[in-house]
Chains A and B, each alone.
Chain A
Amino acid sequence: MKRRKFLQVAGVTTAGLAAGCGTGEGEKWLPYLVPDENLVPGVPTYYASTCRECPAGCGILVKTREGRPIKIEGNPHHPVNRGRLCARGQAALQGLYDPDRVSQPMRRQGERWIPISWDEALQQVSQALAAAATSGQDRVAFIGGADSGPTDALADEFVRSFRSSRRIRYEAFAHEPLREASRLVFGTASIPRYDFGAARYIMSFGADFLETFLSPTEFAGGFARSHGWHEGRMARFVAVEPRRGMTGFSADEWVAPEAGTEALLALGIANAVFRQGRARVTGGDADALRGFLARFDIATVSRQCGVASDTIERLAREFTDAEPSLAVSGGVALQHRQATQLNVAVHLLNAVAGNVGRTVTFPGTVWDRLGTFADLKGLVSAMDAGGVDVVIVHGTNPAFTAGAAGFASAFSKVQLKVALSSAMDETTALCDIVLPDHHPLEAWGLYTPVSGVTSVQQPASTPVHDTRQAADVMLQLARLANRTIGGGAEDAQQLVRRALGADANQELQRGVTTTVAAARPVRLSREFARLSFGPATFDGAETGLVLLTVPSVALYDGRGANKGWLQELPDPATKISWQTWVEVHPQTAAAASLHNGDVVTVTAGERSVEALVYVYPGVRPGVAAMPIGRGHTRYGRYATGGSNPLSLLGDVTDGSGALAFAQLRVTLTPTGRRVPLATTEGSPRQHGRGIARLAALASMGQAHEVHEPFTAAERRAIARADTAHREARYTLGDYRGEHPKWEMAIDLSRCTGCSACVTACYAENNLPVVGESQVQRHREMAWIRLERYFEGETEGTDFQVAQVPMLCQQCENAPCEPVCPVYAAYHTPDGLNGQIYNRCVGTRYCANNCPYKVRYFNWFDYGSPASPQFAFPGTLAWQLNPDVTVRTKGVMEKCTFCVQRIRYAQNEAKVSNRALTDADVQPACAQTCPADAITFGDARNPDSEVSRRKRDERGYHVFELLNTKPGVTYLTRVVHAEMAEAASGEGH
């Protein structure tokens, strides 16, 4: 591990927090003792590992400079994410460098924490464990998160070695109902694997598969392949859910049934399939299903769900016409009393459409082995009864997510509570001893998200603090208690290397091994018939609004809450950051005269929380939605804003023992206060200005009228002038000779609005996190933002959502350039719109003159430790990219197509004297885009991918009539809906 010692050449340009002040007076250099062959100061080293921000287990490459991880990118060899990453994955770094991390072992005394030595801590814990083991069976409990591989096995072994079987893999989003449904319908209690790429027709019953559901990055890739317009074909996507979230934005059609009746709707459709004689099941199954489904008469269903019966008939027809199709369900938001039934129904729908084995397979996944909410409740009651002496919590925070199970009170009854946690979160705060855990980027492991995919996890950095990996701690504890586990392995590294076998090093380099696992064939079981199907019930007055608690794209189940990047990432649906809001339908709002930003008390029974009203056409009338993840009481400086809707829930479970996240009807009572929303949203409509364009599939192919702001004569004149200018330019000083022209193409048919690009940009370009108060003033610094416009009549469900990533367009005739008095903004030879931070004096004229409004100003000194607004406190500063200047106060900044990457690649190419190719340069946003919507390259090369996409018939430039000649070409998003025309035209 010495090769990653921090004995480095004195922080070679630690990204200039000292804001470049000439000579390094008195600065010290610390050379290596022995140079590390694969670490050259100034040259990045990459380590393959696995992202553990959620159970999906994406493969990552960690970019380190001088031994410090500074950026995470997807591992292109990895079958799950194919080199892409979501916002949460990008932000893992801020977990590693979390300024509020627990930096050494501590013992709690009342409310105070006293540092103790590792030895002392381990001694205490091991003795307690031994004592507990001697005093009886099952007196030790271990609560962990999703895990697999040797470390997972080790935990089991560890608990067993202390005569206990109480080991729970607790995930707040464990999708038990889906697993249970698989058992009931197909006899295998397993989470299916979905192939969105192959599906020609996708129907989602509230599964947010582009946000948090199972493996969103993987799904986004597949979804973009099938649903993204290609050669005139694209899959149709129907979102069936009472609340239309980010995933629903990509839908061609939104069907909003009464909350809790989705199961019935699904069964109704399945029934219709049979009645239309389109079912693809045969033999006994067919008869059984027909019989069962006949119970769900379409007229009745239509009445129960509030969905027209001909809609049901149509959906059935379309769903079976397309081959193969895919229906998904199991989203947390719709995890209500009837969740298992809903998943059963959707399984049946897939069965009758013949999708099972095609788009729906059962290879076995990491979720299969997760414990249920009921299991946790079992442990809670045991703890409550004093049946547990020692509890070890690792990598999960039930005190925050499982308040409903009464976790906290029972937990406090346990004699010794040990946290193997690197964060002082709610659960850790309740513990007696905290043995700080490595961050996944410091730890060893093998992770198998889906059987057949073994993803290695290795340290990319030496421990930032005095922490130890949980597995190591377990080994040491066992050793102290004279037990041998893990086959007597020394530490986790040994465990992993043993498991990898002889060619461990190659494995470590590649990061993942894939073996083709034959998906287990499944056959229909009849058990589901015993379930009782009906509308889900919700506690509370009939007049109340059904409360949907929605997992947050950024914060997941709340574990992302102490990461500034994620807190400041505008929610893709509402565009609000930092705050907790409650979504209400315009009609509901009008009736109760609620307005954006009104502070309301959300009351259920005697429990209540406060939230800000956001009037949102994406929820059904009679439904209110709140995001999960904020409202922490502990966990760190960034986490404590907002409120936690989970604290409203009672321990209601569904048939599978899962917590019913949707179980309440709530009332909203205004407090009379109003707070400006920390939103990036200006106007939610684009007023026909053709920024994010939609086109109906029907209108594609045939020459549809494209708005042309100039007459033919004008066009010729402009072209002549441009060529003249270009000719002139290439004879001028630095512009002489051949240069590439860097351009970008963004395919809106693929973009899902997931905002991974935004966080990637934060990570790559040292963007400061400015905080709630500044976002309320629209002072957020995101160089790339996602604009979300509603198109069409938003009163009903028949509207489209147009999303567009807006970043510097690198205009050839950039309006921002000529107005800068000091040439801080100018045009580079390779077609970039250069921005020289250290030359900028801050007149801000460029920003006024930018029609795309993509220039961002440093209102405060975010980069200087002396300043009250310092954005990189503590170890967060270690993440800063040394290749990018940290901007000082008073200067303008903006996207530069990651010019530092371009220059680096050019230098590399020159030194190893070969030609520069597009493959060498990828801006952070393009690199991470899970949907592969962003293409970057040299537009002067007609064969480059970007040139190809530029020539696409859907290509257009925003505000063409300004003749700014943008370097970013957008490709119109194609939708099945017919009303899309609304947004298609340039504003005229």
Chain B
Amino acid sequence: MATPPVVPASPGVVGVFDTLDALLLALRELKAKGFTGLTVHSPVPHHDIEDILDEPVSPVRLFTLIGALSGTAFGFYYAIGTSLDWELIVGGKPIVSLPAYVVIGFETTILIGALATVAGMFLNARLPKLRKAAGYDPRFSADKFGIVVMGGPAQVAAAADILRAAGAAEVNDV
């Protein structure tokens, strides 16, 4: 089959796959060839993809931890501080009634923890993205998979071949 001339101008290439297995094949190949800066689009996350890419664990969990801890601190700080601010005895109970404040501490833990987590996700995933992503195809949110490879002309060309070889339905420049 005749290979169409590669346009050196293009910064990258995207391969569109109908099946997961084809995608995985291409992905393995690319990794093997030491390609970096790969972006895999798939309608749903899939552990096979993760296995091949094997990236470090997301740091979101740290946000969760710190958020939660400061939540706890804030809860108790607020409850204790305000009670001591104006001592009012109710029901013959001590001014600082810790057992009661546990509830406050707990709720603020969850609240701030959750918000921090979400913030963490947005920061790490670089969301929101405003500009169009290179090589993204609407079908990736339906039932097609895609690999975007960025790089110099040589790499791009090589990647394109690999993608085709792996059985990409389409291989387009981006």
Query: A-side interface residues toward B, CB under 8 Å?
Result: 722, 725, 728-729, 732-735, 812-818, 820, 823, 825-827, 965
On whether the beta carbons of B87 and A732 are closer than 8 Å, the reply is yes
User: In the bound complex, do residue B91 and residue A817 qualify as a contact, i.e. CB atoms below 8 Å apart?
Assistant: yes
The reply to whether the CB of B89 lies closer than 8 angstroms to some CB of chain A is yes
Are A725 and B95 within 8 A (Cβ)? no
A814 touches B87 (CB 8 A): no
List the 8 closest pairs (A to B, CB-CB), nearest first.
Answer: A817-B90, A818-B91, A813-B92, A733-B87, A817-B91, A827-B89, A818-B90, A732-B87
Contact B94 A814 (CB under 8 A): no
CA distance A948 to B22 in the complex (A): 97
Chain B contact residues, CB within 8 Å of chain A: 86-95
Contact A826 B88 (CB under 8 A): yes
Residue of chain B at shortest CB distance from A728: B94
Q: Which residues of B contact A826 (CB under 8 A)?
A: 88-90
Question: Chain B nearest CB: distance from A741 CB in Å?
Answer: 13
Chain A nearest CB from B90 CB (Å) reads: 4
B88 & A814 in contact (Cβ 8 Å cutoff): no
* Residue in chain A with minimal CB distance to B89: A827
Set of chain A residues within 8 Å of B94, measured between Cβ atoms: 725, 728
Q: Of the candidates B87, B90, B91, B93, which one forms a contact with A735 in the assembled complex, judged by CB atoms under 8 Å apart?
A: B87
**B97 closest partner in A (C-beta):** A818
A812 CB contacts on chain B under 8 angstroms: 92
| Identity of the chain B residue whose Cβ is nearest the Cβ of A826 in the assembled complex | B88
Contact across chains for B91 and A729 when beta carbons are under 8 A apart = no
Query: Complex formed: what's the CA distance from A729 to B90 in Å?
Result: 11
Is there an interface contact between A732 and B90, defined as CB atoms closer than 8 Å? no
Contact (Cβ within 8 A) A827 B92: yes
CA distance A497 to B139 in the complex (A): 110
Q: Are B91 and A814 in contact (CB under 8 A)?
A: yes
Contact of A725 with B92 in the complex, beta carbons under 8 Å? yes
Q: Out of A733, A734, A827, which one reaches B90, CB within 8 Å?
A: A827
**Most chain A beta carbons < 10 A, residue from B86, B87, B92, B94:** B92
CA distance A380 to B37 in the complex (A): 119
Instruction: Determine the chain A residues whose CB is within 8 A of the CB of B89 once the complex forms.
Output: 729, 732, 735, 817, 826-827
Interface centre among B87, B90, B91, B94 (most CB of A within 10 A): B91
Chain A neighbourhood of B87, CB < 8 A: 732-735
Residue on B with the closest CB to A736?
B87
Main secondary structure of the interface of B (DSSP, over half): loop
Other A-B contacts than A733-B86, A827-B91, 12 sampled, CB-CB below 8 A, are: A728-B94, A813-B91, A814-B90, A817-B90, A818-B90, A818-B91, A818-B93, A823-B88, A825-B90, A826-B90, A827-B89, A827-B92
Closest Cβ neighbor of B86 among chain A residues: A733
Q: Which residues of B contact A735 (CB under 8 A)?
A: 87, 89
Q: How far is the CB of B125 from chain A (nearest CB, A)?
A: 40
* Bound Cα distance from A827 to B94, whole angstroms: 12
A735 to chain B, nearest CB (A): 7
State how many angstroms separate the Cβ of B9 from the closest Cβ of chain A.
68
How many angstroms from the CA of A206 to the CA of B89 in the assembled complex?
52
- Give A843 Cβ to nearest chain B Cβ, in Å: 14
A316 to B95, CA, bound (A): 65
Nearest CB in chain B: distance from A135 CB, A: 80
Residues of A within 8 A of B92 (CB): 722, 725, 812-814, 827, 965
Whose C-beta in chain B lies nearest to the C-beta of A724?
Answer: B94
Do A820 and B90 have beta carbons less than 8 Å apart? yes
Q: Can you name the residue of chain B whose Cβ is closest to the Cβ of A732?
A: B87
**B91 and A815 contact, CB distance less than 8 A:** yes
Q: Which residue of B lies closest to A829 (CB)?
A: B89
Quick one: closest A residue to B88, CB to CB? Answer: A826
Q: Which residues of B contact A813 (CB under 8 A)?
A: 91-92
Query: Which residues of B have CB within 8 Å of A965?
Result: 92
How far apart are the CA atoms of A729 and B89 in the complex, in Å? Answer: 8
Q: Do A823 and B90 touch (CB < 8 A)?
A: yes
The smallest beta-carbon distance between A728 and chain B, in angstroms, is: 7
**Residue picked from A722, A733, A812, A820, most chain B C-beta under 10 Å:** A733
C-alpha gap A728/B94 in the complex (Å): 8
Q: Which residues of B contact A817 (CB under 8 A)?
A: 89-91
In the assembled complex, which residues on chain B have CB atoms less than 8 Å from the CB atom of A818?
A: 90-91, 93
**Complex: how many Å from CA A965 to CA B92?**
10
Q: Name 10 A/B residue pairs within 8 A (Cβ), A-sorted.
A: A722-B92, A732-B89, A733-B86, A735-B87, A735-B89, A815-B91, A823-B88, A825-B90, A826-B89, A827-B92
Alpha-carbon distance between A725 and B97 when the two chains are bound, in angstroms:
12
Which of A722, A812, A820, A827 has the largest count of B CB atoms less than 10 A from its CB? A827
- Bound CA span A9–B94, Å: 46
Q: Taking the nearest CB of chain A, how far is it from the CB of B107, in angstroms?
A: 15
- Tell me the complex Cα distance, A814–B92, Å: 7
B91 touches A732 (CB 8 A): no
Chain B residues within 8 Å of A823, by CB: 88, 90
**A827–B92 Cα gap in the complex (Å)?**
8
Q: In whole Å, how far is B76's beta carbon from the nearest beta carbon of chain A?
A: 18
Using Cβ atoms and an 8 Å threshold, which residues of chain A touch B88?
823, 826-827
Measured in the bound complex, the distance between the Cα atoms of B90 and A820 in whole Å is 9
Nearest-Cβ distance from residue B59 to partner chain A, whole angstroms: 40
A823 and B93 CA atoms in complex are apart in Å by: 13
Question: In the complex, what's the smallest C-beta–C-beta distance from B95 to chain A, in angstroms?
Answer: 6
Known: A823-B88, A826-B88. A732 touches B93 (CB 8 A): no
A817→B93 CA distance, assembly (Å) = 10
Cα A722 to Cα B92 with chains together (Å) = 8
Instruction: Compute how far the CA of A265 lies from the CA of B59 in the bound complex, rounded to whole angstroms.
Output: 100
Q: What is the bound-complex CA distance between A87 and B98, given in angstroms?
A: 49
Bound CA span A700–B17, Å:
100
CB distance from B114 to the nearest CB of A (A): 25
Closest to B93 in A: A818
Q: Which residue of B lies closest to A815 (CB)?
A: B91
Min C-beta distance of A739 to chain B, whole Å:
12
B97 to chain A, nearest CB (A): 8
Compute how far the CA of A818 lies from the CA of B92 in the bound complex, rounded to whole angstroms.
Answer: 9
Residue of B nearest to A834 (CB): B88
Q: How far is the CA of A826 from the CA of B83 in the complex (A)?
A: 13
* C-alpha gap A818/B93 in the complex (Å): 8
**For the complex, what is the distance from the CA of A735 to the CA of B92, rounded to whole Å?**
12
Cβ distance B63 to chain A, nearest Cβ, rounded Å: 32
**A residues in contact with B95, CB < 8 Å:** 732
A818–B89 Cα distance when bound, in Å, is 9
Query: Considering only CB atoms, which chain B residue lies closest to A963 in the complex?
Result: B92
Q: How far is the CB of A636 from chain B (nearest CB, A)?
A: 45
How far does the Cβ of A809 sit from chain B's closest Cβ, in whole Å? 13
List, in ascending order, chain B residues with CB within 8 A of A734's CB: 87
Among residues of A, the one whose C-beta sits closest to the C-beta of B100 is A818
CA distance in complex: A466, B88 (Å): 52
Tell me the complex Cα distance, A815–B91, Å: 6
The complex places the Cα of A976 from the Cα of B55 at a distance, in Å, of: 93
B91 surroundings in chain A (CB, below 8 A)? 813-818, 827
C-alpha spacing A813/B95, complex, angstroms: 13
Instruction: From B86, B89, B94, name the one whose CB has the most chain A CB atoms within 10 angstroms.
Output: B89
- Give A777 to B82 CA distance when docked, in angstroms: 40
Kindly state the separation between the CA atoms of A823 and B86 in the bound complex, as whole angstroms: 11
**Shortest Cβ distance from residue A4 to the other chain B in the assembled complex, whole angstroms:** 43
B6 to A: closest C-beta gap in Å: 72
Q: How far is the CA of A880 from the CA of B47 in the complex (A)?
A: 79
Interchain nearest-CB distance for B85 vs A (Å): 10
Q: How far is the CA of A827 from the CA of B95 in the complex (A)?
A: 12
A151–chain B nearest beta-carbon distance, Å = 57
A823 to B89, CA, bound (A): 9
Provide the bound-state CA to CA distance between A735 and B95, in Å: 12
Measured between alpha carbons, how far is A825 from B89 in the docked complex, in Å? Answer: 10
User: Which residues does chain B contribute within 8 Å of A725, judged by CB atoms?
Assistant: 92, 94
Docked CA distance A738–B165 (Å):
93
Q: Compute how far the CA of A65 lies from the CA of B87 in the bound complex, rounded to whole angstroms.
A: 36
User: Whole-angstrom distance between the alpha carbons of A812 and B91 in the complex?
Assistant: 7
In the complex, A884 Cα to B123 Cα: how many Å?
59
Distance between Cα atoms of A820 and B95 in the complex (Å): 15
The residues of A that contact B86 with a CB separation of less than 8 Å are 733
- With A and B bound together, what is the CA distance between A820 and B86 in angstroms? 16
Q: List residues of chain A with CB within 8 A of the CB of B90.
A: 814, 817-818, 820, 823, 825-827
Q: For the complex, what is the distance from the CA of A722 to the CA of B94, rounded to whole Å?
A: 11
